[in-house]
Structure 1
Amino acid sequence: MDDYVSETDSEYTSYWRDWFLSSRGNEYFCEIDEEYIMDRFNLTGLNTEVQYYQHALDLVTDAFDVDCDDKMRDAVEKSARHLYGLVHARYIVTTRGLARMLEKYKKAEFGKCPRVACNSHPLLPMALSDVSNVKPVKLYCAKCEDIYNPKSARHSGIDGAYFGTSFHNILFQVYPALAPTKSTDRYVPRVYGFKVHSSAALVRWQTAQQEDMRRRLHRMGVDTGFRDGFNEEEEEDEDVIFEGVSDDRALMAPGDAAQVG
């Protein structure tokens, strides 16, 4: 902002979008095509959400030519930022917008997953609400399918509504080849190489439930995406064990089965 203090109004506004995108903390945003912003259909309804809407739009489109004091200019500047963010949420789910965000995703410009088992998989910005000023932006990992807070404080204050709740899912719908293999590895607590008892028992129960569900999906011909850890002979053995037992009984936890018996 200080770089433009000595510039004239026309010189200042001609650089507004370049200045906004290059400002520290705005690295998550991509450049919006000018023709997209100029199309009033794409801005439908935003006039009720942005203060000084027309002045803000003029500033974003490099057409602001109003003689005003510093207080007014600061208010218009704030509105222009908000307007750009709201338009950005709409733009990034278009074909051009997805392509631009994809390039940033491939370069891991949004950061990498902090989960060790994800091996630094790139993250994507997302929102927990499409309503502005409700929730800040979060980062989504497609490998572990979990969300995280931005690592940098300058990004943690960005409004999540500027990215929307659907963008990260639409990206992998449009580019399915980029969807990573889901992470099935999990940390097992150990003491001197031995599993911690309570945690190990829980893991064994969860694993048994997972294996049972995989067998059921396998019989129905559904591809689970998990590594195969059993063969058809083992599956037949399990059928013998559960022969004569109802499906509801087989799905119960060990404690529940004991109570029913």
Structure 2
Amino acid sequence: MNNEISDDNSDMIISDSDSNSEESIEDLNWIQTFLEKPGNQIFVEIHMQYLTDRFNLVGLNKYCSEKMSTMLKLMTDDIDFLRGEYSSMSSIEKRMLDKECAKLYGLIHARYILTYQGQYDMMTLYSENIFGKCPRSACTGTPLLPMGLYDVPEQDSFKLYCPCCEDVYRPAHITQGLELFSGFNGSVLSEYKRYQQAFDYPVEKHLTLRDSELPLGKNLDSEGDDLNIINQVLKFNPNIDGAYFGTTFPHFFLMQYPNVVSGEEKPKQRFIPAIYNFDLHYNSQILRYQELKRQQLEEKLSKEYDPKLIKTKSKKIFTSKTKMYT
């Protein structure tokens, strides 16, 4: 299908085992290394107790090519495994194992963010606008929530859901908090430090790694102005699988935190296409139909949630049942 994730770029950001080779085995922290990679700021840290509970991993082994026990040993930084079997692996085997661990972490992440602690951790990211803001003008910059269109991996990349307009957007088209830097014209290092203070991300380490990937004689400073360099750090990885968040998360999150977007804040105005201030007939007809249906639905919901009507309905149901038994 057209929306499938490309295998060539799927592990572009979410898995990178080359940087781990420079670190000593004792200092290796797989989860922290995974979360610190650029683009992975949309993930939360899964607690070790949840990660090692086999009940939470039921049914996930069919999506991974490596053994579940081997992946968990690497993800939990098992010293015996790292000094023994892992140290004897080739660089290709380590990269494949790291890629499968990133996939397993994402699948567990989709389940973890439905727990109370996971919802709280995602609320922290949501309050910091880590997922960007809605591009629709009527939503006035409502923060977005990540979600997937499928619960099965390798079907489609993750999307961003707006609680205000209740629509879904592609992450590649969402700019992420660039207003923090738009009015600043200082040095590149100052921009890096401001970003690091705002998002607690080791930018200097990332830029060192990225410099090594550029052609000989070039570095990030010569690739563009300060804002473009910061934009490279802020940019989402559009190839992250949507199954790492699932179809349930944003709606369950809004049930847990209903005050995030109140009903009064949701925009009711619609954009009407016009030529020289004359509405287009066909489009206007569709908009009038949608507006009529919206008003009918609002009236229906207001009646259903009216306490007086609920009491009268319950009385009628109760009396009808008593008549049946008499």
TM bin (shorter chain)? 0.7 to 0.9
**Secondary structure in structure 2 of the residue aligned to 1:125:** strand
Consecutive unaligned residues of structure 1, counting only runs of 5 or more, are 224-261
2:131–2:146 contact (8 Å) kept in structure 1: yes
Among candidates 139, 142, 150, match of residue 118 of structure 1? 139
State the partner residue of 2:126: 105
Query: 1:239-261, CA deviations, whole angstroms, 9 ceiling, x for partnerless residues?
Result: xxxxxxxxxxxxxxxxxxxxxxx
| Alignment partners' CA distance in 2, 1:28 and 1:150 | 11
2:52–2:72 contact (8 Å) kept in structure 1: no
1:177 paired to 2:262: no
Deviates more, 1:55-64 or 1:206-215: 206-215
Consecutive unaligned residues of structure 2, counting only runs of 5 or more, are 1-16, 174-234, 307-326
Deviation of 1:78 (Å): 0.8
Deviation of 1:193 (Å): 3.8
| Alignment partners' CA distance in 2, 1:148 and 1:30 | 21
State the partner residue of 2:271: 187
| Alignment partners' CA distance in 1, 2:148 and 2:40 | 16
Kindly tell me: are residues 44 and 145 of structure 1, through their superposed partners in 2, closer, same or farther at Cα, counting changes over 3 Å? same
1:155 paired to 2:237: yes
| Alignment partners' CA distance in 2, 1:212 and 1:49 | 45
State the partner residue of 2:64: 50
Deviates more, 1:112-121 or 1:205-214: 205-214
Kindly tell me: are residues 210 and 130 of structure 1, through their superposed partners in 2, closer, same or farther at Cα, counting changes over 3 Å? closer
1:142–1:180 contact (8 Å) kept in structure 2: no
1:46–1:83 contact (8 Å) kept in structure 2: yes
Deviation of 1:217 (Å): 5.9
**1:69-148 residue pairs with structure 2 within 5 A?**
69-148=90-169
Deviation of 1:18 (Å): 0.9
Deviation of 1:137 (Å): 0.5
Deviation of 1:190 (Å): 3.1
Among candidates 56, 73, 76, match of residue 61 of structure 1? 76
Task: Give TM-score scaled by structure 1 length.
Answer: 0.76
**1:7-46 residue pairs with structure 2 within 5 A?**
7-12=23-28, 15-46=29-60
| Alignment partners' CA distance in 2, 1:45 and 1:98 | 22
Deviation of 1:221 (Å): 5.7
**Which has the higher relative contact order, 1 or 2, with Cα contacts under 8 A spaced 6 or more apart?**
2
Q: Percent identity?
A: 38
1:5 paired to 2:27: no
| Alignment partners' CA distance in 2, 1:16 and 1:58 | 10
Number of aligned positions between the proteins: 220
Task: Give TM-score scaled by structure 2 length.
Answer: 0.61
Deviation of 1:49 (Å): 2.4
| Alignment partners' CA distance in 1, 2:166 and 2:108 | 27
State the partner residue of 2:181: none
**Secondary structure in structure 2 of the residue aligned to 1:54:** helix
- Specify the code of the residue in structure 2 equivalent to 1:137: F
- Specify the code of the residue in structure 1 equivalent to 2:34: F
Kindly tell me: are residues 216 and 35 of structure 1, through their superposed partners in 2, closer, same or farther at Cα, counting changes over 3 Å? closer
- Specify the code of the residue in structure 2 equivalent to 1:8: S
Structure 1 or 2, whichever has the larger Rg, is: 1
Give the CA RMSD over aligned residues.
2.3
| Alignment partners' CA distance in 2, 1:86 and 1:76 | 15
Deviates more, 1:58-67 or 1:16-25: 58-67
Deviation of 1:3 (Å): 4.3
| Alignment partners' CA distance in 2, 1:96 and 1:108 | 19
